[in-house]
Each structure stands twice: as C-alpha cells, then as structure tokens.
Amino acid sequence: MRKRRTKDDWTDIALRALVEGGVAAVAVEPLAARIGATKGSAYWHFPNRDALLTATLERWEREHTEAVIARVQAEPTPLGRLRRLFAVALEDSRDNAVELALLAAKDDPAVAPVLRRVTDRRVDYLTDLFHDIGFPDDAARGRAVLAYSAYLGQAQLLAAAPDLVRRRGLLDDTLAVVTARG
Amino acid sequence: MRKRRTKDDWTDIALRALVEGGVAAVAVEPLAARIGATKGSAYWHFPNRDALLTATLERWEREHTEAVIARVQAEPTPLGRLRRLFAVALEDSRDNAVELALLAAKDDPAVAPVLRRVTDRRVDYLTDLFHDIGFPDDAARGRAVLAYSAYLGQAQLLAAAPDLVRRRGLLDDTLAVVTARG
DNA sequence: ACGGTTCCATACGGGGGCGTATGGAAGGAG
DNA sequence: CTCCTTCCATACGCCCCCGTATGGAACCGT
C-alpha cells in the first residue's frame, strides 16, 4: 500500500465526505482516520482546514460544472438541450448532493464565492438556452431563474421527500410549463 | 429583570438562533450565554440538547405552518389564494430561514419528521388549491409539486443570490407559468 | 416566617476538532 | 551510499460543546 498522499488524495476524500455529510464533514481528523493517515499529512499539504475545503470546492467547480454543460451541448436543438439538462442534473445525485451542501453552507466564507460563481454560470447558460428557444432577452432571463428555481427545489425535494417528486411525467410537465408562452 | 426562565423562553431564543445560524446554532451553552443564564437552566427544562431542538421545531411547526395557510384562506378566489401564498411565503424571510435550515439538516433525526410533515402539509394544500382552480386530481398534484419546488428554489436563490430573483414581475411570471393549461 | 418545591449557578469530566512542534522515515540526486 | 528534500506520525495544548452533580437561591403555600 502506498504511504504518501497527494493534495488530490485529500481533496478526493474531502469531496466524498462533503457529499455524505455536508461542509461540516470536511474535517481534518476524521478524514485522516478515513484515509489511513494522520493530521500531519493534511497540515503538510494545506495550511489549515479552510484551505483544504477551498481546494476541494474549487476542484469540484472546475471538474463538474463545465462537464455537465459540455455534455448537454451535444444535443442538436435548444429544447433538447434544456430537456437533457434537467434530466442530467436531477439524475446525478452525487453532484446534486454537493449543490445542496453548498446551499446549506452558503454563509461559509469558503463556500459563498464558489456557490455564487456556479449559480451565475448556470443561470447564464439557461438564459442562453431560453433565448435560443425564442424568448426575448428579458423574458429569457426570467424563465432561466424560474427554471433554475424549479431545479433547485426539485433537488431539495428529491433529498427530503423522494416519493413526492418521483412521479411519472413530472419532468415533461416541468419542461412544458417552463417553456410555455405567456 | 426576571431571573427565572420558562421552556418557552428557551425555545424562543433557540428559534432565533436557528434562523440565524441553522440547526447547529441551537447549542445549549451559546444560547445560555445569550439569554443571560447558564446551562443549569436549560438542563432543568430539557433533558438534553436534542429535546430542546425538538421542542423548538415542534413549536415552530405548530405556530407558523397553519398560520400562513389561515392567512391565505382569507382570499376569496383560489387563484387569489395561490398568489397570496407565494407572496406571503417569499416575503417572510424569517420563516423562510427556518425552512432552509431544516432542509440543510434534513438528515438530523430531530429534523426529518418535522420537515416531512411540513412538506406534506404544504404540498397537500397546494394540491387542493390547484384542484379548486380547475385541474383534475392528478394534474393538480403535479402542479403542486412543481409550484412547491419553484418556491423552495426561489427561497434558496433569495438567500444565496438575491439579485437574481429580485426581478420585477417574477412573481406574476411564476404564477402564470405554474397555472398555465397544458 | 418557614418548609418544600421549583429553578438555576457553579464546577467538573469528557469528547472531538483545530493547529503547532518536532523527530524521523521515505524517496530522489549526486 | 550519502545527503537533502519531501512527507508524515506522534504528542501536545487549546477551544467549544455536551452532559452530570450538587448546593443554594427564589418562590409558594400554609
């Protein structure tokens, strides 16, 4: 077994802990126990717990946010992209958990900027999508916020009361409603 | 100044702390300091920290969930009630904060049952509303979940990125979209 | 006013997470 | 092989929160 760990080894388990237990679970000592090491390693790679958390969040942001958008861009039509976006976003419960963890810790100074960037990026992308679908600039942004709200809310419900949101046709319903002309 | 405190005094500040700092902020010692007492008082009124938290949540559930619904029922038309519900729900940032705190701590055994009951109650009420508006039973429930998702999402955004959701006409937009016939 | 009950302050031990210091092991360069 | 750098284990002190024990103050009935 390898003895030495890298920064990435640490952000790896930190991310896993984040998914499972939220921001509070990104704690040096429990993580060290889990990775089969001691704090000594962590505090060599990172100056403190906050730096570890920040590195973890930034890595997630770098690797996942754009990945989803890239995957969605494969779809030929804007409406298809929107549909795929919702499907992909709500299916990947791992990614979802990070999102909810960030929302839950939005006041943490390490979390706020990441959350802000990710939110802006996603709403912007949705705005483009609605624009391409045919909504004028202003309405497109409104729909984007609405759609993103619906996504966030469904993600929450999915975690808190799964039976409510696991209904046949909810995805199609949501899409139909969100893209309906005024 | 009064020296002796009641159970309600404790759940009062516990609720205030919950609003400001989430479930984790409902901690005996900080609360005691804040109320100008010591742990001794808390541990006389409650067997442990969990009991205090539970009492706080149940009190909030008792006093606020139904209050909102009662207030909304004053509106004459179902559509008016729906509109008022959204307006009231999103304006009361205090109540909103509790909601988000519960969502953020949904895995806490003291929180889960309350969250579940509140969610069910609200979705049920929304279902009735959509039914009264004219949607058949099945569609009404779908719209209720959708509307509640939109509310949750907007509450999140309101806390995380207020400028995005503070747009003129978003409320009307949301209502129009959510009540649109398929 | 006095005796019992209700309430609470103080003091203590425990656990868990943070951060520091220090000695030493593992790996690479020569 | 040797030396130097990189990495990490151990041990320590600190803070914060939980929960318990105990003596005593405040309140109430009579």
Question: Is residue B175 within 8 Å of residue B83, measured between CB atoms?
Answer: yes
Q: Which CATH architecture has domain A7-178?
A: Orthogonal Bundle (1.10)
Cβ within 8 Å, pair B156-A149: yes
The alpha carbon of residue B157 is apart from the nearest alpha carbon of chain A, in Å, by 7
Strand C nucleotides within a 7 Å radius of protein CB atoms:
7-11, 16-23, 26-27
Asked if A67 reaches chain B (Cβ–Cβ under 8 Å), the answer is no
B 26-55: CB under 8 A from A: none
**Dist. CA B83–CA B171, nearest whole Å:** 8
> Distance of CA B148 to CAs A96, B56, B155, Å?
18, 24, 10
Chain A residues whose beta carbon lies within 8 Å of the beta carbon of residue B116 = 160-161
The confidence band for B2, taking pLDDT boundaries of 50, 70 and 90, is low
pLDDT, tens digit (0-9, with 9 covering 90-100), for B132-153: 999 999 999 999 999 999 999 9
> pLDDT category, A2, cuts 50, 70, 90?
low
For B51, counting Cβ atoms within 10 Å of its Cβ (0-12 exposed, 13-18 middle, 19+ buried), the class is middle
Q: What is the mean pLDDT of residues A162-171?
A: 91
Which positions in strand D are less than 7 Å from the protein's CB atoms?
A: 7-11, 16-23, 26-27
Q: What would the mean pLDDT of A96-115 be, rounded to a whole number?
A: 96
User: Do B149 and A148 lie within an 8 Å CB cutoff?
Assistant: no
Query: B119 and A164 in contact by Cβ < 8 A?
Result: yes
Nucleotide nearest to A7 (CA to C1'): D7
> Nearest-CA residue of chain B relative to A147?
B150
User: CB under 8 Å to B22, separation ≥6 — which residues?
Assistant: A104, B101, B104, B105
Protein CA A52 to sugar C1' C19 (Å) = 14
Please tell me the distance from the alpha carbon of residue B49 to that of residue B71, in angstroms, as a whole number.
33
- Tell me how many helices (H) and strands (E) chain B has: 11, 0
- Give the nearest nucleotide to B5, CA to C1': C7
Say which residue the tokens 């509790």 belong to: B98
**pLDDT tens-place string over residues A119-141:** 999 999 999 999 999 999 999 99
Q: What is the DSSP string of A36-92?
A: T--HHHHHHHSSSHHHHHHHHHHHHIIIIIHHHHHHHHTSSSHHHHHHHHHHHHHH-
